[in-house]
């Protein structure tokens, strides 16, 4: 039986998930592939011993031991971050080793360099676990939907943010309290910035767009807004209007340009994405041949992510065994056919909006605000006011018809500058049904 030997760099949550999956599924993988996948070496500077079940695995604190071992076929980089992860991947490929990574941040910034190095060294890069945890969305785009022009990508791609918004919706708990609870339960990191400010989601969207469109989409191409400004009152107004607030990644393919944005979005309660709650992820794709596809599952965690990394290891192992390395291009498109993106400017976006304006309850306030909206061609669909004590500011909520982002930003700037406004205006985009 063909033996494929694997080295893991980083024995944290994902590294342990991969190791456990390889051990638990070893016999099944032999039956499915005719290959014996062997975990040969683990490199980690902080681990002094491995669990008893990995007694045959070599432990080292030096990744060079993996790079310099000619018997290791595949290297799994599972430490995260930019460096030394980037250098480790490049060095492994220079040594002729295939690589697997779950590192979405690295790929969304340095992906072009990494995939070029893979092509140069005729090795494969597996990165299924970089988006959606255990959800096989990378494979779906690369292979299952290969006969499609992808028209849009929409998705909930961060379990921490989705958990927080779900708790706020179901229990009316303020953002700060839910975040603290999420940290205590292990759903949120001690520093949750990447999750709650949309950066993690933007990493993932950049990767999916690159595969979907055959374009080198970089993290900097994605417009990003987080959820830290969302308050229970916004959740309640959304409920009254028949919406749920979700942190969405959205990209539309206009042909000559593509949208790339991450922001809180009011999603109609009847929409598929509105029903995805807790720490789960859901990614909706539309192809011109297949129509709509929804992929749903656990977007993080030891075993779901370990499952995705193991799938890459098996795919690469099969290709090695059958002499078909790079049968499927890493980014689905042949390298020479991957171009540079033209990103649709945010100011050109058109969608309905929700505004919550906090202002003094004085005569003439509404006429001033609506006058500003009218000046910028923003048509109001409905208006509600909460609070009637003239000594306290009130919340005035507007929903608009389709409006242009550039005009909206100008109007909000003027409204926030008014003496009658006591807090920045909250703006949430509404999802357009397609």
pLDDT at 291: 97
pLDDT at 94: 98
Q: What is the three-class DSSP state of 16?
A: helix
Q: Which of 335, 420, 338 has its CA nearest to residue 372?
A: 420
Element (H, E) at 383: strand 380-386
Cα(293)–Cα(230) distance, integer angstroms: 29
pTM of the model: 0.95
The answer to whether the CB of 75 falls within 8 A of the CB of 57 is no
Among 63-67, 178-182, 415-419, the minimum mean pLDDT is found in 178-182
Extract long-range pairs of 186-194: CB within 8 Å, 24+ residues apart: 187/159, 187/160, 187/163, 187/279, 188/160, 188/163, 188/164, 189/160, 192/160, 194/105
- Percent pLDDT > 70 in the chain is 99
| Tokens, residue 115 | 């995939």
pLDDT at 391: 72
Helices (H), 56-131: 64-67, 85-94, 104-121
Q: Dihedrals φ, ψ of 42, to 5°? A: -120, 130
Distances, alpha carbon 428 to alpha carbons 179, 248, 267, 326, 406, in Å:
20, 11, 10, 43, 14
pLDDT at 389: 61
Cα(223)–Cα(126) distance, integer angstroms: 27
Element (H, E) at 193: helix 193-196
Cα(160)–Cα(192) distance, integer angstroms: 9
DSSP letter, residue 174: -
Alpha-carbon torsion angle 208, 212, 215, 216, nearest 10: 20
Whether the pLDDT of residue 81 is over 80: the answer is yes
| Tokens, residue 382 | 């409905």
The predicted-structure confidence for 94-130, as pLDDT tens digits, reads as follows 999 999 999 999 999 999 999 999 999 999 999 999 9
Distances, alpha carbon 410 to alpha carbons 282, 376, 407, in Å:
33, 8, 5
- Residues assigned a catalytic role: 204
CATH code of the domain occupying 346-430: 3.30.70.260
Cα(344)–Cα(278) distance, integer angstroms: 31
Residue 246 annotated as part of some ligand binding site? no
Residue 336 annotated as part of some ligand binding site? no
Q: Which residues pair with 300 in a beta bridge?
A: none
Q: Which of 122, 71, 65 has its CA nearest to residue 88?
A: 65
Average pLDDT of 254-275?
96
CATH code of the domain occupying 2-131+302-334: 3.40.50.720
Q: How far is CA 85 from the centre of its chain?
A: 19
Q: Which of 199, 218, 209 has its CA nearest to residue 259?
A: 209
Element (H, E) at 59: strand 58-60
To 5 degrees, how large is the angle CA 290–CA 293–CA 294? 175
Domain borders along the chain are 2-131+302-334, 137-298, 346-430
The predicted-structure confidence for 338-383, as pLDDT tens digits, reads as follows 999 999 999 999 999 999 999 998 889 999 999 999 999 999 999 9
The answer to whether the CB of 355 falls within 8 A of the CB of 409 is no
Whether the pLDDT of residue 312 is over 80: the answer is yes
Whether the pLDDT of residue 387 is over 90: the answer is no
- The angle that helices 159-171 and 175-185 make with each other, rounded to 10 degrees, is 130
- What burial letters (b/e) apply to 349-369, b meaning 16+ CB within 10 Å? bebbbbbbbbbebeeebeeeb
Average pLDDT of 210-228?
97
Domain 137-298 CATH superfamily:
Dihydrodipicolinate Reductase; domain 2 (3.30.360.10)
Res. 188 pLDDT band, cuts 50 70 90: confident
| Tokens, residue 32 | 């499915």
Cα(15)–Cα(9) distance, integer angstroms: 8
Element (H, E) at 206: helix 199-213
Kind of pairing, strands 353-359 and 394-400? antiparallel
């Amino acid at each position: 039986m063909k033996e494929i030997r694997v080295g893991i760099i980083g024995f944290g949550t994902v590294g342990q998930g991969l190791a456990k999956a390889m051990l638990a599924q070893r016999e099944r993988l032999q039956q499915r592939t005719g290959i014996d996948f062997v975990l040969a070496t683990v490199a980690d500077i902080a681990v002094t011993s491995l669990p008893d079940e990995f007694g045959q695995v070599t432990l080292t604190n030096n990744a060079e031991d993996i790079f310099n071992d000619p018997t290791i076929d595949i290297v799994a980089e599972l430490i995260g971050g930019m460096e030394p992860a980037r250098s480790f991947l490049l060095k492994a490929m220079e040594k002729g080793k295939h690589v697997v990574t779950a590192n979405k941040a690295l790929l969304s910034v340095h992906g072009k360099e990494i995939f070029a190095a893979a092509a140069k060294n005729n090795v494969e890069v597996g990165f299924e676990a970089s988006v959606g945890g255990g959800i096989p969305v990378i494979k779906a785009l690369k292979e299952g939907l290969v006969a499609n022009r992808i028209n849009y990508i929409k998705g909930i791609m961060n379990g921490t943010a989705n958990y927080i918004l779900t708790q706020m919706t179901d229990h009316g708990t303020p953002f700060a309290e839910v975040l603290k609870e999420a940290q205590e339960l292990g759903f949120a990191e001690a520093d949750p910035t990447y999750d709650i400010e949309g950066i993690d989601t933007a990493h993932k969207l950049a990767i999916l767009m690159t595969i979907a469109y055959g374009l080198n989409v970089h993290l900097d191409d994605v417009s990003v807004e987080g959820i830290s400004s969302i308050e229970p009152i916004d959740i309640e107004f959304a409920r009254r209007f028949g919406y749920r607030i979700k942190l969405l990644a959205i990209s539309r393919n206009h042909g000559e340009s593509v949208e790339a944005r991450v922001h809180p979005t009011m999603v109609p309660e009847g929409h598929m994405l509105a029903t995805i709650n807790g720490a789960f992820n859901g990614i909706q794709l539309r192809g011109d041949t297949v129509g709509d596809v929804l992929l749903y599952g656990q977007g993080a965690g030891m075993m779901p992510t370990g499952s995705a990394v193991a799938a890459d290891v098996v795919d690469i192992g099969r290709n090695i065994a059958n002499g078909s390395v790079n049968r499927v291009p890493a980014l689905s498109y042949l390298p020479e056919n991957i171009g540079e993106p033209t990103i649709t400017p945010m100011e050109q976006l058109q969608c309905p909006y929700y505004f919550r304006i906090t202002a003094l309850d004085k005569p003439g306030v509404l006429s001033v605000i609506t006058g500003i909206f009218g000046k910028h061609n923003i048509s109001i669909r409905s208006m509600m006011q909460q609070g009637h004590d003239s000594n306290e500011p009130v919340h005035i909520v507007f929903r608009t018809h389709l409006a242009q982002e550039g005009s909206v930003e100008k109007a909000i700037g003027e409204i926030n500058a008014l003496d009658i406004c006591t807090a920045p205006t909250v703006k949430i985009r509404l999802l357009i049904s397609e």
